[in-house]
Each structure stands twice: as C-alpha cells, then as structure tokens.
A = this chain, B = another copy of it.
Amino acid sequence: MENIIDTIGYCAALLTTLSFLPQAIKTIKTKDTSGISLIMYSMFTLGVFGWLVYGFIKNDIPLIMANLVTLSLAGIILRLKIKYK
C-alpha cells in the first residue's frame, strides 16, 4: 500500500512540476502573454523560490529538484510576460 501512495505523490509532483513546460514553450513560440497574469507569475515564482529555500534548509532532495525545475520554467514565463506585456 505504501508503494501506491508514494507513486501517487511522485506522479502528482511530476505533473505539477512539468506542467509549466508546455506553457513556457507556447509562450516562447507565440509571445502571446496578454492573457497571462503578471501578478500570478510574480507570486508563484516567489512562492516556488520559498519552497526551494525550504527544501535546502530541510535537505529534502525531491523538493529541491522539483522546485528548481519549476522555478526555471516559471521564471522563463515571468520574464516573457514582463518583456511582451
């Protein structure tokens, strides 16, 4: 049973982390950022940075890895939103 629970956790982490990849690719290709909320990506990027700091302090490798990926993807989208308003 423990294995199934861990698998659900890993799948959830993988999905929520990698979900920002298609958005980053779409935004890089289309430069269409009008519908994207600057406040959302500012708050989200700050929050993910917070999770990264939290992961480092707790020495939690999965938390560090997941949030490093999400931070770079969300950071790309945030920069494009600022650049193309």
Residues of A within 8 A of B (CB): 5, 8-9, 11-23, 25-27, 30, 32-37, 39-41, 43-44, 46-51, 53-54, 57-58
- The answer to whether B34 touches A34, judged by C-beta atoms less than 8 angstroms apart, is yes
- Taking A35-B33, A35-B34 as contacts, is the C-beta distance between A53 and B20 under 8 angstroms? no
CA distance A23 to B42 in the complex (A): 11
- Taking A26-B37, A40-B23 as contacts, is the C-beta distance between A47 and B8 under 8 angstroms? no
Give the oligomeric copy count. 2
**Residue on B nearest A20 in the bound complex, by CB:** B40
- Taking A39-B22, A40-B19, A40-B23 as contacts, is the C-beta distance between A12 and B50 under 8 angstroms? yes
